[in-house]
Chains A and B, each alone.
Chain A
Amino acid sequence: MKVVVDMNKCQDHGQCVFAAPDVFSLDDAGHLAYVSDPDDALRDEVEEAADVCPLQAIRIEA
């Protein structure tokens, strides 16, 4: 699975971290970091993360 976050849109709300902690995290400064090619087994939680992103910045490309 390929995940892309539009970093121009992202405002570090961190809702994706709650939904998919294996894929998204916030660093010590509170800024987003993520795994761009997570295992397909994580699809449900990544879809959830995309749903709850207030900026709708997360795209699942495949």
Chain B
Amino acid sequence: MTARIVVAGASMAGLRAAEQLRAAGWRGAITLVGDEPHPPYNRPPLSKEVLAGKASFESLAFRPRASVSDVEWRLGRKAVAAALDERTVRLDDGTELSYDGLVVATGMRPRRLDCPGPAAGRHTVRTLDDARGLREALTRPGARVVVVGAGFIGCEVAATAVGLGVAEVTVVDPLPLPMAGPLGELLGRAMLERHEARGVRFALGTGVAGFTGEERVTGVELSDGSVLAADVVVESVGSVANTEWLDGNGLDLADGVLTDARLRAGGRPDVVAVGDVARFPNARYDGVPRRVEHWCIPTDTAKHAAKTLVGDAEPVPFAPLPSFWSDQHDFRLQSFGAPVLGKGDVRVLDGDPEGDVLVGYHHDGRLVGVVALGGQAMTASAARYRAELLKQPALTETVSG
């Protein structure tokens, strides 16, 4: 029988894993299992171009490399159980797949608010179908929108809604500033001012107690008892790892799948994890395993994990340089490195927080991350610091974000 690698998860990380397995020399069979009906597609446009009605599915779909034209796709199916000692994965239709290698690429799902109230009218943005449903709701005349969670996704959705002409858009968050968790206070404040200037309202420093309405949501009740009227609620309050199907195998699944530096799970040579779901140590930083939900991580981890599975004699240390971006209104945030590790020492490197600005984040006096906010010239200037960040030696002490 032909040897087979099963890739559980058929989004970007699963696709990249299949392509990188081929690039690493795997000539056996590859089976990709994915619970969405769609072939792999690019998610960042979901909260922006797709919501705004500017992108079709065709424009989102990844073009798989020719090397994976012979892989088997099981779409609309999900892995529900695995027996790693027996090397089998069971799907939701009862099929059992045996494997020689397993790639865990099952990603995340949105965390939902556990509050009393009706479910209709409450949205998340993770899948294409989510985004289409939310777009329909946002474009109903007179829609009043409350976004719960002032992180990147929530702020992107709020900006897109205002751009669509929605008159009432309010973002709620228990923290005092948007995106301050990853970006710190200086840029959090700059982002707050920009959003407010473009018509987004904020209810900060308050949680959500529940939702009003009978059949459908009519409002969001805040923890101080006040109610924001709403027809559309968007919950952007983080995500939960899809790892339940791996239960019972002795893996550390406390937050995603814990891996070693070669992305192996549970010390097994035949099981690797890639993408959002992988909690891996980055040799560039302090060695503490972390999950990283950046767009570039599926590609970075797939390349490394494929070499692990196929059997690379001389592995190089896994030390990806994190980077992420976020487009909101007419400006971009572009980050390189790990600003979250240097929020205690933030310095303006170029420009001015009132306009385009480049901010450096330092740990123990050393630059660990840069974030540009503004137009193209400033994001290009962030790129110039990328080389400096790449050259730095590893951080050896433990840093808490």
Binding site for B on A (CB under 8 A): 9, 11-15, 17-18, 26, 29-31, 47, 51-52, 54-56, 59
Contact = CB atoms under 8 A, between A and B. Distances in A.
A30 B379 contact: yes
A56 B59 CA distance: 9
Given A13-B325, A14-B383, A51-B16, A56 B376 contact: no
9 shortest A-B CB distances, which residue pairs?
A: A30-B380, A30-B376, A51-B299, A14-B383, A30-B377, A12-B376, A56-B42, A26-B380, A52-B299
A15 B44 CA distance: 15
A29 B376 contact: yes
Given A9-B59, A18-B386, A59-B63, A54 B325 contact: yes
A15 B300 CA distance: 13
A60 to B, nearest CB: 9
B140 interface: no
A13 B44 CA distance: 13
B198 interface: no
A53 to B, nearest CB: 10
B65 interface: yes
Nearest to A58: B63
B166 to A, nearest CB: 24
Contacts of B152: none
6 contacts: A13-B379, A15-B296, A17-B383, A56-B42, A56-B62, A59-B63
B245 interface: no
B295 interface: yes
A12 B380 CA distance: 9
Given A26-B380, A51-B16, A56 B63 contact: yes
B350 to A, nearest CB: 14
Contacts of B383: 14, 17-18, 26
Nearest to B15: A51
Given A13-B334, A15-B296, A54-B295, 9 more contacts: A12-B376, A13-B379, A30-B379, A31-B376, A51-B299, A52-B299, A54-B44, A56-B63, A59-B63
A3 to B, nearest CB: 14
B3 to A, nearest CB: 25
Contacts of B377: 29-30
Contacts of A52: 296, 299
Contacts of B295: 54
A51 B299 CA distance: 7
Given A52-B299, A56-B63, A14 B380 contact: yes
Interface string B289-311: 00000011001000000000000
Nearest to B378: A30
Of the candidates A11, A18, A51, the one having the most CB atoms from chain B within 10 angstroms of its own CB is A51
Contact of B65 (A12, A17, A47, A56): A47
A57 B79 CA distance: 32
A26 B334 CA distance: 16
Contacts of B16: 51
A9 B55 CA distance: 10
Nearest to B298: A51
A14 B376 CA distance: 10
B312 to A, nearest CB: 16
Interface string B111-124: 00000000000000
Contacts of A29: 376-377
Nearest to A19: B299
A60 B377 CA distance: 28
A58 B377 CA distance: 22
A12 B323 CA distance: 15
Contacts of B296: 15, 52
Contacts of A17: 383
A36 B220 CA distance: 53
A26 B381 CA distance: 11
B215 to A, nearest CB: 40
Contacts of B65: 47
Contacts of B386: 18
A32 B296 CA distance: 20
Contacts of A14: 379-380, 383
Contacts of B19: 51
